Structures are given as C-alpha cells and as structure tokens.
Amino acid sequence: MRRVLRFTAALAMCLSACSSDNRKVLIVYSPHGKELLDYFEKAFEKAHPDIDVQWVDMGSQEVLERVRAEKPNPQADVWFGAPAEAFDRATKENLLQPYKPTWADAIDPEGRDANSNWYGTYLTPEVIGYNREAVSDAEAPKDWDDLIDPKWKGKIVIRDPIASGTMRAIFGAIMARSVAQTGKPDAGYDWLRKLDANTREYTLNPTILYQKLGRQEGVVTMWDMPDFATLEQRTRIPIKYVIPKSGTPLLVDGIAVVRGTKHQKEAEEYYEFVTTPEAMIAAADSFLRIPARKDIPVEKLPSWIRDAMTQIKPMPVDREVMAAHLDEWMKYWDANIRNRGKNQ
C-alpha cells in the first residue's frame, strides 16, 4: 500500500509539474490551506503572467518528509509554512537554499535563521478549543494542565501529531518544559500519557477534527488560534478557544526556498510577493494570520489580532532542544503512549 501511495504521489507531482501553456511552473509546498494558497496563486499570477503557480497542500511534517525524500531530485521550489523547528531541522539536513529577503531587518532574530535559510511569515499561537454548546465558558479548560484532569476522559479529540507540525509543536513544548524544569523528559511523557487517557481519537486531518468537534464526538481539543478564529467567524461549528493562562507556544511560521530549485528567480519573486506588507495585511484581514514582520502598522491589523496580542503570554521553548529531540520524543510517544490509556 505504501508503494502504491508513493507512486500515486509521484504521478500527481509529475502531472502538476506540467503546465498546460508555456508559462514556467512554480511548485509550492504548504500547509496553509486551499483558500490562502488559491488567493496568493491568483494574485501572484496576475502580477507575473509568465509564471504558473501550482501548490500542494499538506501538513507541515508531511512537507518536511517530502522535501527530505526528494533531496536527490527536488520537485518543489518554495516551502511556504511550517513551525520554526521544522525549518531548523531542514536547515541541518541541508534541504534549504539560503535567501535574504528585502525585509530581513523587520524580523526579530528568533524569527529567522541566522544564515538566511528561512524567515518568519506569521506568528501562530497554540490554544485550547472547545464546543461551546457542550462545554460552558466556566468549565472549559483554562490551561494545558487542565487537559489531563480525569473529568475530560473520552472527551478530547486531537489532530494526529505525527503528521501535524502544529500538534508536534504543542507536544514538543510540553516535553521541552519537562526538560527545562527537571533536566529529563520523564515528566513530559507522563503528561502525554495522562492526555492520551483522556483522548477519544486522533484524527487524520484538521477537517475531520472540526467535524468531530461540531458533532460533539469529542468536545475539547488543542490547535492554532487563527484556524479557531476562522471557524468561529465563518462557519456554523460552535467553537470557542482559550489562550492558556500559563503561556502558549507562539510558533513562528516560516518560508524558504528549497535547495535545488530549478526556478531560483521565480521562487524568490514568490517569496517576496507573499511577504510584502500588503500581503501580510491581506492575510490578516482575510485569513486571520498574525504577521511576524515588525514593520506592519498595528492600526492596520484587525481588532481581534490587536486584542489577542495583549493576552498572549509566550511560552518559553528552547528551539535547539526541540530541533534536537522532537523526532525522538514523537517516536517514543507513537510507540509507547498512543492509545495506551483508553482502559486506564
């Protein structure tokens, strides 16, 4: 089956790389979702009519694994979107082509790679979500440790963290907290065991996660604030979210040129296009993304972003520890913790 899936993916990529006209094809790998990617595709192609943007939407961990697998023969030109730790690992594996954008000085040092392998685009707070029709505001979890209270047994639904950069970042932050406090990962693994005991299901993708929350097949979860805000504003799913009071992982979502791209000039043009102040403000207005650039006028951002930024307390996370140990932690979780707590 895995061989069939690999063949199907390779075939799809081959087809996608073939433009129906004489334009240059620019391949973008991204977890940002159809709406945002389609918006930037159309806008970029209008400004660059000689380029055909073709994007592949998948989880950020899946992007890393695909770029890694394609290293001998790169297929993508731009990697648009993933937590910093994923780009850090890609940098160590020599998967990225250094590029210093024109706005490099507008990003804080912790929001970029020192050697320009990647730069931050958006800030993504990780939060706790719940179905407001099933859980009252008063009883909703207010912090990460509330999620391991036995009262939530069988009521939590989570996006499968193996393929999800967002969930890997949350799990990784819990593990990094354990290492920072005790020097060992044991307390973090214990936390994940208690969470697993409360978890009803790990879903294959975010869409299924949202559907299950809406149907109350699990009424509490963890995910990123922009997606929850989008659901809250634009769908009938009765979702609300809480910014954890002890602190939240404030992920830097990045962009990079893939090493070995056959379209360096076009990749750089796309990179610059989706990160202009105008593009950042459009992403904030239409797709509820929080800009990482520090030169975006605050008054031009939506009120919900201005309000959220006053409430967010960034959770300290050692990026070097995360980059060095996250794969190890996730492999241990998958082999020794996942679905082991249902009968406890």
Tens of pLDDT, residues 216-240: 999 999 999 988 988 888 888 999 9
Of residues 15 and 294, the one with the higher pLDDT is 294
Domain match, 87 and 232 both: no
The one-letter code for the residue type at 221 is T
Domain match, 199 and 319 both: yes
Domain match, 135 and 229 both: yes
Question: What is the count of structural domains for the chain?
Answer: 2
Strand pairing partners for 222? 128
Domain match, 192 and 99 both: no
Domain match, 272 and 327 both: no
Report yes or no: 304 and 284 within 8 Å, Cβ to Cβ.
no
Report yes or no: 277 and 296 within 8 Å, Cβ to Cβ.
yes
* Straight-line distance from the first to the last Cα atom of the chain, in angstroms, rounded to the nearest whole number: 33
Domain CATH code at residue 63? 3.40.190.10
In this predicted structure, the answer to whether residue 343 has a pLDDT above a threshold of 70 is: no
Domain match, 132 and 234 both: yes
Domain match, 233 and 328 both: yes
Residue partners of 159: CB distance under 8 A and separation at least 6: 166, 167, 202, 203, 205, 206, 209, 221, 223
Instruction: Tell whether 193 is covered by a domain.
Output: yes
Domain match, 53 and 194 both: no
Instruction: Tell whether 305 is covered by a domain.
Output: no
Instruction: Tell whether 201 is covered by a domain.
Output: yes
Q: What would the DSSP string read from start to end of 58-119?
A: --HHHHHHHHHHTTTS---SEEEEEEHHHHHHHHHTT-EE----TTGGGS-GGGB-TTSS-E
Domain match, 111 and 193 both: no
Dihedral angle, C-alpha 76, 111, 326, 1, nearest 10 °: -20
Instruction: Tell whether 93 is covered by a domain.
Output: yes
Query: Where does the pLDDT of residue 13 fall: very low under 50, low under 70, confident under 90, or very high at 90 and above?
Result: low
Domain match, 50 and 153 both: no
Average pLDDT for 59-80: 96
Say what the pLDDT of residue 19 is: 55
Instruction: Tell whether 342 is covered by a domain.
Output: no
Residue 271 structural domain: 2-123+252-300
Tens digits of residue pLDDT in 245-254? 999 998 899 9
Report yes or no: 238 and 214 within 8 Å, Cβ to Cβ.
yes
Instruction: Tell whether 220 is covered by a domain.
Output: yes
Q: Among residues 203, 188, 190, 196, which one has the least CA distance to residue 344?
A: 196
Query: Where does the pLDDT of residue 163 fall: very low under 50, low under 70, confident under 90, or very high at 90 and above?
Result: confident
Domain match, 136 and 258 both: no
Instruction: Tell whether 19 is covered by a domain.
Output: yes
In this predicted structure, the answer to whether residue 5 has a pLDDT above a threshold of 80 is: no
Alpha-carbon gap, residue 64 to 70, rounded angstroms: 10
Average pLDDT for 109-131: 95
Tens digits of residue pLDDT in 295-315? 999 999 999 888 888 888 999
Alpha-carbon gap, residue 29 to 78, rounded angstroms: 6
Instruction: Tell whether 283 is covered by a domain.
Output: yes
Domain match, 225 and 182 both: yes
